[in-house]
Amino acid sequence: LVSTTTTIRRLGDFVGQAVTVQGWLYNKRSSGKIQFLQVRDGTGLVQCVAVKAEVGEETFATCASLTQESSLRVTGLVRADDRAPGGYELTVQAVEAIQIAEEYPVSLKEHGVDFLLDHRHLWLRVPRQRALLKIRAEVERAVMNFLDGDGFTRVDPPVLTPSSCEDTTELFQTKYFDEEAYLTQSGQLYMEAVAMSLGKVYSLGPAFRAEKSKTRRHLIEFWMVEPEMAFCDHEENLRVQENLIVHVVNHVLEHCEPELHVLERDIDKLRAIQAPFPRMTYDEAITWLQQHDYDIKWGDDFGAPHETALAGQFDRPLFIERYPTAIKAFYMQPDPDRPEVALCADMLAPDGYGEIIGGSQRIHDYNLLKQRFEEHHLPQDTYAWYLDLRKYGSVPHAGFGLGLERTIAWLSGIEHIREAIGFPRMLYRLYP
């Protein structure tokens, strides 16, 4: 039998010809003399029709032996068929069973969360999870396309670090020969250094935080995109963020429509995401919350309910700007006109997904930064190099951190961030 091995996505190139497709059995129906095998290969799904009278006893018996998720190679003639899922059907000529699967535990019925997470390695094969993996890949691609096209250079910061950038209670500590090291919580400080070398830079990689509470927005290991720009102020920083998000949304709309349908995402809501995004100052946000009976005062940080309520007023992401310096990181530039607030902003996604971006202009003045170190009791020696940057051609600069999983969760409309990454690391879950 002469056939070309191809993927399901490319079947349209082979109408009327014999091809071989290799994949896994997704589903099977039988009516005595005909079997319908639904085969998936990662590029699509195709129905393969095996007629007993045509394929013979042996091949028909092989088809009958295939269980869900069995791996196989099937050869057949490609037929165009409008009613078929991908537009084509395969008339089976031969089937080779590669491995007959045991009873597949992740059935289409409802399962509990722990069961699904225990079986994450198998759960990833269902349509919904495949859609999420695809969307994740496209979000990463869109981010890279946008930044690469805008003159940014991708730089990879270290994962093992001698110091922490954020809250020390969330650090993962590990031995580094005779020293202590920590898994990175953010590459930002390093990105500031390379911004002084390349101008506009970004990183795309994992961050680790020992988050001690269970929320639907926090993972222990998550991925961040961290752009950093020399000669950039607060205003420009927000414009870049806005344009990046609009680009990502449009890219996903363009490339992931089938996946968004699998996830039953309200696509019109995504189409409404356009720049400019609404803005509120922290002060305005506090006043609004107080007017809406939230028990909060100036100087408090927002919790998830506050962020959800604030962002809930809008159909697109909301910037909250100028938080009190006291509740933000030590490196944020105070507003020169009002030093008690920082030139920073969080971007809150609509529909309760919370903060997807945190960003700020950074302190570029040596003395001011040194003073901040003292106020925050930071170990001067581990941060000496960071302070050093302010001695050699320091310039105003700004940047931000975009959480990939939160962005994916929002774009996909999923309940919990854990499905936005292949193998989620969560409180007390390090398996599989």
- Using CB under 5 A as the criterion, which residues of the chain lie in contact with Mg ion when the complex forms? 355, 358
Q: Is 209 an interacting residue with respect to ligand ATP (CB under 6 A)?
A: yes
Task: By CB under 6 A, name the one of 37, 90, 143, 219 that touches ligand ATP.
Answer: 219
Q: How far is CA 169 from CA 182, 211, 212, in A?
A: 12, 9, 9
Examine residue 355 and tell whether it contacts ligand ATP (CB under 6 A). yes
Q: What is the dihedral of CA 142, 148, 149, 152, to 10 degrees?
A: 130
Does 211 bind ligand ATP (CB under 6 A)? Our answer is yes
Per-residue DSSP letter, 214? -
Q: What residue type is 97 in one-letter code? A: A
Of 123 and 190, the one with the shorter C-beta distance to Mg ion is 190
Select the span of 27-35, 113-121, 311-319, 352-360 touching ligand ATP (CB under 6 A).
352-360
Task: Please give the single-letter amino acid code of residue 57.
Answer: E
Measured from each CB, the residue nearest to Mg ion is 358
The smaller minimum CB distance to ligand ATP, of residues 118 and 166, is found at: 166
At a CB cut-off of 8 Å and minimum separation 6, what does 125 contact?
24, 69, 106
Place of tokens 């409802």: 110
Per CB under 6 A, 401 contacts ligand ATP: yes
Minimum CB separation of residue 209 from ligand ATP in Å reads 5
Angle at which helices 282-291 and 304-311 pack, to 10 degrees? 90
Determine the size of the site formed for ligand ATP (CB under 6 A): 18
Instruction: Give the separation between CA 225 and CA 417, rounded to whole angstroms.
Output: 16
* Nearest residue (CB) to ligand ATP, 88 versus 323: 323
The answer to whether 331 contacts ligand ATP (rule: CB under 6 A) is no
CA dihedral for 314, 236, 153, 173, sign (positive or negative): negative
Per CB under 6 A, the segment of 95-103, 135-143, 174-182, 400-408 that binds ligand ATP is 400-408
Q: Compute the least distance from the CB of residue 111 to ligand ATP, in Å.
A: 24
Residue number, 76 or 399, with CB nearest to ligand ATP? 399
Q: Give the one residue of 40, 120, 200, 218 binding ligand ATP; rule: CB under 6 A.
A: 218
Region label for 93, one of left (φ > 0), alpha (ψ between -120 and 50) or beta (otherwise): alpha
Q: Is 362 in the site for ligand ATP (CB under 6 A)?
A: no
Closest CA to 420 of 370, 356, 359: 356
Which residues would be at the binding site for ligand ATP (CB under 6 A)? Answer: 166, 186, 209, 211, 217-219, 222, 224, 354-358, 401, 403, 405-406
